[in-house]
Amino acid sequence: MPTTPTADTFFTRRLAQKGNPLIIAGPCSAESEEQVLAVARALKAAGQADIYRAGIWKPRTKPGGFEGRGTAALPWLQAARQETGLPMAIEVATPKHVEEALKHGIDVLWIGARTTVNPFAVQELADALAGTGVPVMVKNPVNPDLALWIGAIERLERAGIRDLAAIHRGFSTFAPSRYRNAPTWAIPIELKTRRPDLVLLNDPSHIGGRRDLLLPIAQKALDLDYDGLIIETHPDPDHALSDAAQQVTPARLQEILSELKYRYRSSDNADYRNKAEELRQKMDEADHELLEVLTRRAALTQELAEYKKENNVKILQLERWQEIFRTRPEWAARLGLNERFIAELYKLIHIESIRQQTEVLNGRAIDAVPAPLGPGL
Ligand SMILES: O=C(O)C(=O)C[C@]1(C(=O)O)C=C[C@@H](O)C=C1
């Protein structure tokens, strides 16, 4: 399987024309014809946007808020396309939205995070899109469930849609976080691993929820080999009718794009290749040693479990576990390692030790180490 998107699609053709990253920009919501045109003109003049985005129907958490201008806004996008030549993209959530969008010549559609969670809704959209040939972008579901994201993409593929891209917009979490939607980078990395053929875009506006986070999130996405960025732009972000805190002016978007560091996927430089190869060999050796140490720990766990069985002693030893959970991160910090990483690693080691001991005490364990990436993995 190729390691980068190679299929000939709407998105890969644009990538081939201008190179990585593809830039999608435009307001969170189309608010007025003047606003739609002002952003389109500014983006066109700066020459870096490949696709224009605008929300027409806005899924809001509570009723009574600004829910978008609806169908009335579609002619404004037609006018913006006419004037700038930029392809227009909007979100669709129902077959009726698809019908209206296509009637008005919208070039690209996207399925929002709140729709991707619902297989019935995605299937209805896939049925409505079948045979249209319109390019579609699929945002991740709000919950961190990779199988659901891939499932939505597969429903569209089964409906014959070939021009597809995935958008990583982050995930809802209960825990407080500096992000509006936690990026949980392991999920898009796993998507790339399973579907390297798909164009993957990053949405720093919805992940960050704040202007000042756009640059570091976008930089990380580029360093993780995303194919493009979708960034909300508004002529007067503070007075935007939706998502005011995360929108930037087209001028600021230009600055962000020029501040980003664009790196190579690899290098042909012989010195680089030799040095990287040498370091990777040493990392292979270090990993062998790491696995040997884990094997040694597992053998000790086994012995202890057998001894516990003979003496009828329980598996969980809270005091001992608390001591381990306190001391290992401390030891790690002294060695210059990341304490939080080691704390998480030890939680996994402890769960595996319990699984191993359950097998000794009670026969086959009922569960393996839980998959950390959510259901369906
Ligand atoms: O020390 C024990 O009694 C163990 O079972 C070992 C171990 C561990 O793997 O370190 C596992 C389970 C306990 O909760 C505490 C520690």
Write the pLDDT tens digit of every residue in 294-343.
999 999 999 999 999 999 999 999 999 999 999 999 999 999 999 999 99
Q: What does the alpha-carbon distance between residue 20 and residue 229 come to, in Å, rounded to a whole number?
A: 10
Q: What is the pLDDT of residue 369?
A: 57
Residue 52: beta bridge partners? 25, 88
Q: What is the pLDDT of residue 339?
A: 97
Measured by CA distance, the residue closest to atom 2 of ligand 1 is 317
Does the pLDDT of residue 373 top 60, yes or no?
no
Determine whether the shortest distance from the Cβ of 353 to ligand 1 is under 6 A.
yes
Determine whether the shortest distance from the Cβ of 350 to ligand 1 is under 6 A.
yes
Q: What is the pLDDT of residue 376?
A: 42
Does the pLDDT of residue 2 top 60, yes or no?
no
Spacing, Cα 357 to ligand 1 middle (Å): 9
Q: Which two tokens stand for residue 371?
A: 């998959």
Report, as an integer, the average pLDDT of 57-84.
Answer: 93
Measured by CA distance, the residue closest to atom 3 of ligand 1 is 317
Ligand 1 atom nearest the C-alpha of 315 is 5
Question: Can you give the three-state secondary structure of the chain, one letter per residue?
Answer: CCCCCCCCCHHHHHHHHHCCCEEEEECCECCCHHHHHHHHHHHHHHCCCCEEECECCCCCCCCCCCCCCHHHHHHHHHHHHHHHCCCEEEECCCHHHHHHHHHCCCCEEEECHHHHCCHHHHHHHHHHHCCCCCCEEEECCCCCCHHHHHHHHHHHHHCCCCCEEEEECCECCCCCCCCCCECCCHHHHHHHHHCCCCEEEECHHHHHCCHHHHHHHHHHHHHCCCCEEEEEECCCHHHCCCCHHHCECHHHHHHHHHHCCCCCCCCCCHHHHHHHHHHHHHHHHHHHHHHHHHHHHHHHHHHHHHHHHHHCCCCCCHHHHHHHHHHHHHHHHHCCCCHHHHHHHHHHHHHHHHHHHHHHHHCCCCCCCCCCCCCCC
Report, as an integer, the average pLDDT of 120-132.
Answer: 97
Determine whether the shortest distance from the Cβ of 282 to ligand 1 is under 6 A.
no
Q: What does the alpha-carbon distance between residue 171 and residue 275 come to, in Å, rounded to a whole number?
A: 38
If pLDDT is split at 50, 70 and 90, which confidence band does 152 have?
A: very high
Q: What is the pLDDT of residue 69?
A: 95
If pLDDT is split at 50, 70 and 90, which confidence band does 59 have?
A: confident
Write the pLDDT tens digit of every residue in 211-267.
999 999 999 999 999 999 999 999 999 999 999 999 999 999 999 999 999 999 899
ipTM reported for the complex, 2 dp: 0.98
Determine whether the shortest distance from the Cβ of 301 to ligand 1 is under 6 A.
yes
Q: What is the pLDDT of residue 19?
A: 83
Does the pLDDT of residue 281 top 50, yes or no?
yes
Q: What is the pLDDT of residue 18?
A: 82
Write the pLDDT tens digit of every residue in 187-212.
999 999 999 999 999 999 999 999 99
Spacing, Cα 186 to ligand 1 middle (Å): 28
- CA 333 vs. chain centroid, Å, equals 30
Q: Which domains does the chain show, CATH number per domain?
A: 10-259 (3.20.20.70), 270-362 (1.20.59.10)
Q: What is the pLDDT of residue 367?
A: 66
Ligand 1 atom nearest the C-alpha of 305 is 5
Measured by CA distance, the residue closest to atom 5 of ligand 1 is 315
Does the pLDDT of residue 61 top 90, yes or no?
no
Q: What is the pLDDT of residue 371?
A: 53
Determine whether the shortest distance from the Cβ of 355 to ligand 1 is under 6 A.
no
Q: What is the pLDDT of residue 65?
A: 84
Least confident of 133-142, 151-160, 170-179: 170-179
Report, as an integer, the average pLDDT of 120-145.
Answer: 97
If pLDDT is split at 50, 70 and 90, which confidence band does 272 have?
A: very high
Higher pLDDT, 5 or 9: 9
Does the pLDDT of residue 111 top 80, yes or no?
yes
Among 301, 318, 322, which is best to mutate for testing ligand 1, by the most ligand atoms less than 8 A from CB? 301
Measured by CA distance, the residue closest to atom 6 of ligand 1 is 301
Among 315, 322, 360, which is best to mutate for testing ligand 1, by the most ligand atoms less than 8 A from CB? 315
Report, as an integer, the average pLDDT of 46-54.
Answer: 95
Does the pLDDT of residue 346 top 60, yes or no?
yes
Spacing, Cα 318 to ligand 1 middle (Å): 8
Determine whether the shortest distance from the Cβ of 304 to ligand 1 is under 6 A.
yes
Does the pLDDT of residue 374 top 70, yes or no?
no
pTM (two decimals): 0.91
Spacing, Cα 256 to ligand 1 middle (Å): 50
Write the pLDDT tens digit of every residue in 73-108.
999 999 999 999 999 999 999 999 999 999 999 999
Q: What is the pLDDT of residue 223?
A: 96
Q: What is the pLDDT of residue 375?
A: 46
